[in-house]
Amino acid sequence: MALNINGTTGISGVDGSASAPALQGSDSNTGVSFGTDTVNINTGGSTRATVDSSGNLGVGTSSPDQILHLNKSSGDTYLRIQGGTNQGTLIHATDGTLIGGFVSGGAVAGGTSDIAMRVESGNNMLFAHGTTEGMRMSSNQNIFIHSTNNSGSNGRIYTNGTNGGTITTFEINQNAGSGSEMITFRNNGSQLGTIHQSGSGVNYQSNSDYRLKENDVAISDGITRIKQLRPIRFNWKEDANTTVDGFFAHEVSPVVPESVRGNKDEVFDTDGVGTQVVGGPKYQQLDQSKLVPLLTAALQEAIVKIEVLETKVAALEAA
């Protein structure tokens, strides 16, 4: 197709128009060398791409503010990269060192300094350091750090420390000052409890507001129930050299059932994360802090008895 070169309107096909030629400069320099302002690429009577005086390229915008500025007024896809396994986009430093990238399938080729993000079969998104996977977001919305384990319920964060315990498996740090929250627990948006720092320590707190409770009555059998508990000294099988104080969960369950999770001798009926296998032990758990109200009630009852005895002793001594 023949071209029409015009100093004012630019370069267009013979069927182009002066208002939107195929290639258009922003001033009236003659020939194909346009001025120092902008160069527009037009199709269908509209500007589709612009190179401004700073060398910024805008696609879908006539005012690019970055070296490459993509803008799409409708639809979901801004940029499409299509290729096979181990193909995609790589990011290099000014000295040519590969510092990042997004590829499909396997890891970016190169040394251990390579950093890459990739999507593999099953829609798992992987973040790798060289050929070593560091973190992944699985198709069931789980996040795994230092682990390729891809099982368990949705919304799980799974970390796996390495190097023989010389590194911290999971660390939370902030500099917001004393009393600020480190972790907040919510159910459907409503706050249930927090873990916050005091500047020198950590506080674990759960909701206990009177406005959330009803039908409260005083504990009247504290001593009777406390006598049913069996405090023991023991060691964990995995730490045979350390003796600690505690309870057996199944012995506490009849006395303070809300402190125990699970049932005695329970086993898993489905496979899951780590040691969770069908028929494997599903261990009971105990929240010892839930024994505090009962202990307080028993102590108060004991104090009343002690005070009565003290009064009687005082009367006898005065007689």
What is the SS3 string spanning the chain? CCEEEECCCEEEECCCCCCCCCEEECCCCCCCCCCCCCEEEEECCEEEEEECCCCCEEECCCCCCCCEEECCCCCCCCCCCCCCCCCEEEEECCCCCEEEEEEECCCCCCCCCCEEEEEECCCEEEEEECCEEEEEECCCCCEEECCCCCCCCCCCEEECCCHHHCCCCCCCCCCCCCCCEEEEEEECCEEEEEEEECCCCEEEEECCCHHHCCCCCCCCCHHHHHCCCCCEEECCCCCCCCCEEECCHHHHCCCCHHHEECCCCCECCCCCCCCCCCCCECCCEECHHHHHHHHHHHHHHHHHHHHHHHHHHHHHHHC
* Residue 78: pLDDT over 70: yes
pLDDT band at 213 (very low <50, low <70, confident <90, very high): very high
Please provide the average confidence, as pLDDT, over all residues in the chain. Answer: 79
* Positive or negative: CA dihedral 180, 182, 188, 192: negative
The two three-digit tokens of residue 15, written as one number: 């069927």
Taking the model in full, what pTM does it have? 0.60
- Selection from 76, 78, 77, 82 nearest residue 68 by Cα: 78
Q: What is the CA radius of gyration of the chain?
A: 35
Between the alpha carbon of residue 47 and those of residues 57, 121, 240, the distances in Å are: 13, 39, 76
pLDDT band at 162 (very low <50, low <70, confident <90, very high): low
So what's the pLDDT on residue 243? 98
* Residue 265: pLDDT over 60: yes
Sheet strand arrangement including 98-104: 88-92, 98-104, 115-120, 124-129, 132-137, 143-145, 157-159
Q: Measured between alpha carbons, how far is 184 from 64 in angstroms, rounded to an integer?
A: 41
Question: What percentage of the chain carries pLDDT values higher than 90?
Answer: 42
At residue 81's C-alpha, the angle toward residues 75 and 85, to 5°, is 135
* Highest-pLDDT range among 38-52, 212-226, 271-285: 212-226
Mean pLDDT, residues 243-257 taken together: 98
Residue-wise pLDDT for 269-288, tens only, equals: 988 777 789 999 999 999 99
The two three-digit tokens of residue 136, written as one number: 């992944």
Mean pLDDT, residues 20-30 taken together: 55
Is 22 within 8 Å of 13 (Cβ atoms)? yes
- Return the number of other C-beta atoms located less than 10 Å from residue 111's C-beta: 9
Residue-wise pLDDT for 110-134, tens only, equals: 443 455 666 665 667 777 666 677 7
* Highest-pLDDT range among 4-18, 63-77, 84-98, 178-192: 178-192
